[in-house]
A and B are shown apart, each in its own frame.
Chain A
Amino acid sequence: MILASALGSAQESVRLVPRRLLLYVAPAPASAFTPADALMIARSLHQRLQEAVPDVVFVEPAAGAVSPKQEELNAVAEQAGADSWMQLSMEGDWASARVRVRAFDLLLRTAVADLTAARASWGSPGGLSQETWSDVAQAIAGKFPMLESAVPASGRPQLVRLIIKALPGSVVTGLGAPPLKISADGTAFRMMPPMKEYFFRTELAGYVPVSTRIYLATDREIEVRQTSPSTWGLEGSLADSRAPGFDVSVYFPSSIFARFGFSTYALGLALNSTGILLDMPLTNLVLQVGAYVSPEDRFFRFYLGLGGFVRLVHAPGTRPVLDQLAPAGVRLILGAEAPLSDRAKLYFELTPTFYQTNMPDALRAALGQENAPGWAFGPAEALNLLSFRVGYRWRP
Chain B
Amino acid sequence: MRKLLPAAASVALLCSSCLPVPFDLSLSQGAASASKMARDNPSLVTLGQGFDSSARDFVFYPAVRPAGGGMDYASGFVASVRNLEYQVQAVKKDPSSGLLQSYGFQSQPVPNPDAHFPAAVGWPVQPGAATLSYFFQYTFDALDPQSGSRYSEKVGDPSASTFFPVAGADSDLHNQANLDFPPLDSVVLGASVSADPGGLFDVAHWLAADVLSPGFYLEMSYHLDENGLGAKATPRNPTSYDLSAFLPVIPPSTLSRLAYFYDDNQLADPARMPNRSFASWYDESSGGWVCYAWDDMVSHRQLPIDHRLDALLSTGELLSTESGTGRLYNRDGGLLATFPLGNLVYLGEKYVGGAARCYFSQCLIYDHTLHFNVYWIATDKLATLVD
Contact = CB atoms under 8 A, between A and B. Distances in A.
B29 A366 contact: no
B44 A361 contact: yes
B31 interface: yes
Contacts of B34: 324, 359, 362
Interface string A101-127: 000000000000000000000000000
Interface in B13-32: 13, 15-25, 27-32
B22 A367 contact: yes
Contacts of B1: 338-340, 346
B3 interface: no
B38 to A, nearest CB: 13
B364 A386 contact: no
Contacts of B19: 240, 242, 372-374, 386-387
A367 B20 contact: yes
Contacts of B25: 280-282, 313, 315
Interface stretch (B63-71, B125-133, B366-374): B366-374
Nearest to B30: A362
Contacts of B31: 323-325, 359, 362
B15 A241 contact: yes
- Highest count of chain B CB atoms <10 Å: which of A240, A243, A371: A240
B42 to A, nearest CB: 12
B362 interface: yes
A362 B27 contact: yes
Interface residues of A, number: 52
Interface string A347-391: 010000001001101111111111111100000001010111010
Given A359-B31, A365-B24, A388 B15 contact: yes
B28 A365 contact: no
Contacts of A340: 1-2
Given A366-B24, A369-B365, A358 B13 contact: no
A209 B68 CA distance: 77
A318 B386 CA distance: 11
Nearest to A367: B20
Interface in B308-360: 340
B362 to A, nearest CB: 7
A241 B44 contact: no
Query: Range of interface residues on chain B?
Result: 35 or more
A41 interface: no
Contacts of B371: 361, 365
Contact of B28 (A271, A324, A348, A370): A324
Contacts of A339: 1
B20 to A, nearest CB: 4
Contacts of A388: 12, 15
A358 B28 CA distance: 12
- Highest count of chain B CB atoms <10 Å: which of A242, A355, A366: A366
Nearest to B387: A321
B56 to A, nearest CB: 12
B13 A269 contact: yes
Nearest to A242: B16
A319 interface: yes
A272 interface: yes
Contact of B12 (A241, A325, A368): A241
Nearest to A363: B22
B18 A373 contact: yes
B16 A366 contact: no
A242 B24 contact: no
A338 B3 CA distance: 13
Contacts of A371: 366-367
Interface string A262-301: 0001000111100000101110000000000000000000
B368 A265 contact: no
Contact of B13 (A271, A318, A367, A382): A271
B245 interface: no
A326 interface: yes
A238 interface: yes
B35 interface: yes
A318 B23 contact: no
Given A340-B2, A369-B366, A271 B24 contact: no
Contacts of B17: 270-272
A84 to B, nearest CB: 43
Given A269-B13, A324-B35, A325-B31, A368 B387 contact: no
Contacts of B18: 373
Contact of A318 (B2, B8, B340): B340
A236 B31 CA distance: 31
Interface string B208-223: 0000000000000000
A367 B16 contact: no
B328 to A, nearest CB: 16
Contact of B366 (A315, A364, A374): A364
Nearest to B368: A369
A365 B22 contact: no
Interface in B260-314: none
Given A346-B1, A386-B19, A313 B28 contact: yes
Closest 9 CB pairs of A and B: A241-B16, A365-B364, A366-B24, A324-B31, A241-B12, A271-B17, A242-B16, A325-B31, A367-B20
Given A365-B24, A382-B22, 10 more contacts: A238-B16, A240-B15, A271-B16, A358-B35, A361-B366, A361-B373, A366-B21, A369-B367, A388-B15, A390-B12
14 contacts: A238-B12, A240-B19, A280-B23, A282-B21, A311-B23, A315-B25, A325-B28, A361-B44, A362-B362, A363-B22, A366-B23, A366-B28, A369-B367, A371-B367
Interface of A: 238, 240-243, 265, 269-272, 278, 280-282, 311, 313, 315, 318-319, 321, 323-326, 338-340, 346, 348, 355, 358-359, 361-374, 382, 384, 386-388, 390
